[in-house]
Amino acid sequence: MDGKLDTNRVFTAEGAPNIALIKYWGKRDEKLILPQNSSISLTLSRDTLHTTTSVLVSSKLDEDRFYLDGEIQDLKDKDVAERFGIVGIMRKMAGIREKVLIVSRNDFPTASGMASSASGIATLVYVLNEAFGLGLSTRKLSIVARQGSGSACRSLFGGLVEWKRGAEPDGSDSYAEQVFDEKHWPELMDNIAIVSQEKKKVPSRAGMKQTVQSNPLYASRPAAAEKRLSELTEVYGKKDFESLAELIMADSNEMHALMLSTRPSIRYLNRSSYKVMDLIEGLNLSEGKNIAAYTFDAGPNAHIITLSKHNAKVMEALEQLKASGDVFDVRQSKIGQGPSMLGKDFSLIDDAALGPKAGN
Ligand code: PMV
């Protein structure tokens, strides 16, 4: 057993989702989760959306247990097992055998395209690093997180974060890196217009595999995304919102067009998502410049990137869609930081989670 392993203490961390501005949609290695192109995202503020995860490592536990939003998860379920594999990876790195009790909560709808898996996995990897006494760098943690869910690796940093495609077959150069921290452009913000709380029908893992395998239009995607990513980095550095907005909308539309033209067709956007697109395009047109940009991950909820000085106008425009029942909530987020540990006293683990099987 590692000398640093503290089996009496509950470790708790908090992390946030990210919204991709240049999207990852397609792998070149399914097992290691290596992407076809680099991607870039903004980490959201934990004040708006967050995952909180507590971990207890104990030799008294006879099996791993994982509670998500109050419900015990079936670790034999394929989807859960694929993501939970990172626990085994990290346990092996630490050279320990003890089982873990993990209790995790999201303060936003899980699996509705709001990157709950990214937030959840980044936070889990971060807290396990402490609980297992591993002392890994954030870059190394991003490599582990990537293997649970690709986009999760970007949530280990704050601000604007790039996940590098890399070229090595073992994935050692496919990691996340901060491009600009959250203080670079403090006026930038994301309004998340929630149009649905339903669970997504096609998991992103299966969806992107289908696109890469069966969509002839996919061939042009990786190079187009790389080009757009370097343009975006440049305009972000100059705080050129007009150009940033163009690139954001173009990339979201390109990814969703690829999904749509995949056979069988994958459609994450719904009628209300299209209404948000119309609204933002109309607003930009009437202003004579881009004051906002929409982007959608693998779900119908819209992320509207804007600047704080334009936010009142964006919120006012969204009122129309609230009145029509298309948008039922808007969460306003600033650009946030990567995960951090919460104080020793903060724990989500209660008696119910410990239960008789924990073998106290
Ligand atoms: O990391 P995954 O498997 O949840 O895939 C996420 C893919 C998108 O959210 C649609 C795009 C992205 O880059 O985050």
Residue 106 is part of a domain; what is its CATH number?
3.30.230.10
pTM: 0.94
Residue 47: how many other CB atoms lie within 10 Å: 11
Any domain includes 360: no
What pLDDT sits at residue 83? 85
CA of 350 to the centre of ligand 1 (A): 32
Any domain includes 2: no
CA of 115 to the centre of ligand 1 (A): 7
What pLDDT sits at residue 25? 98
Beta carbons of 126 and 13 less than 8 angstroms apart: yes
Distance between CA atoms of residues 295 and 219, nearest Å: 22
Our answer on whether the CB atom of 151 is closer than 6 Å to any ligand 1 atom is yes
Our answer on whether the CB atom of 83 is closer than 6 Å to any ligand 1 atom is no
What pLDDT sits at residue 199? 74
Q: Which residues pair with 19 in a beta bridge?
A: 42
- For residue range 52-67, what is the model confidence (pLDDT) as tens digits? 999 999 988 999 999 9
CA of 117 to the centre of ligand 1 (A): 9
Q: Which atom of ligand 1 is nearest to the CA of 163?
A: 13
Our answer on whether the CB atom of 37 is closer than 6 Å to any ligand 1 atom is no
What pLDDT sits at residue 358? 43
Q: How many domains does the chain contain in total? A: 1
CA of 303 to the centre of ligand 1 (A): 14
Beta carbons of 62 and 125 less than 8 angstroms apart: no
CA of 249 to the centre of ligand 1 (A): 16
Any domain includes 3: no
Q: Which residues pair with 18 in a beta bridge?
A: 43
Beta carbons of 176 and 185 less than 8 angstroms apart: no
In this structure, what are the phi and psi dihedrals at residue 47, rounded to the nearest 5 degrees? -65, -25
Q: Where are the alpha helices (DSSP H) in the chain?
A: 78-94, 116-131, 138-146, 204-214, 221-237, 241-260, 271-287, 311-323, 351-354
Name the residue of 80, 112, 204 to mutate for ligand 1: max ligand atoms within 8 A of Cβ: 204
Name the residue of 82, 106, 114, 151 to mutate for ligand 1: max ligand atoms within 8 A of Cβ: 151
Any domain includes 4: no
Q: Which atom of ligand 1 is nearest to the CA of 298?
A: 10
- For residue range 77-112, what is the model confidence (pLDDT) as tens digits? 988 888 889 999 999 999 999 999 999 999 875 544
What pLDDT sits at residue 355? 62
- Distance of alpha carbon 305 from its chain centroid, rounded? 16
Any domain includes 359: no
User: pLDDT tens track of the chain, all 360 residues?
Assistant: 445 677 778 999 999 999 999 999 999 999 999 999 999 999 999 999 999 999 999 988 999 999 998 899 999 998 888 888 999 999 999 999 999 999 999 987 554 456 578 999 999 999 999 999 999 999 999 999 999 999 999 999 999 999 999 999 999 999 999 999 999 999 999 999 999 877 777 889 999 999 999 999 999 999 999 999 999 999 999 999 999 999 999 999 999 999 999 999 999 999 999 999 999 999 999 999 999 999 999 999 999 999 999 999 999 999 999 999 999 899 999 999 999 999 877 888 876 666 655 443
Tell me which residue range forms the domain holding 319.
Answer: 10-354
Q: Which atom of ligand 1 is nearest to the CA of 205?
A: 3
What pLDDT sits at residue 161? 98
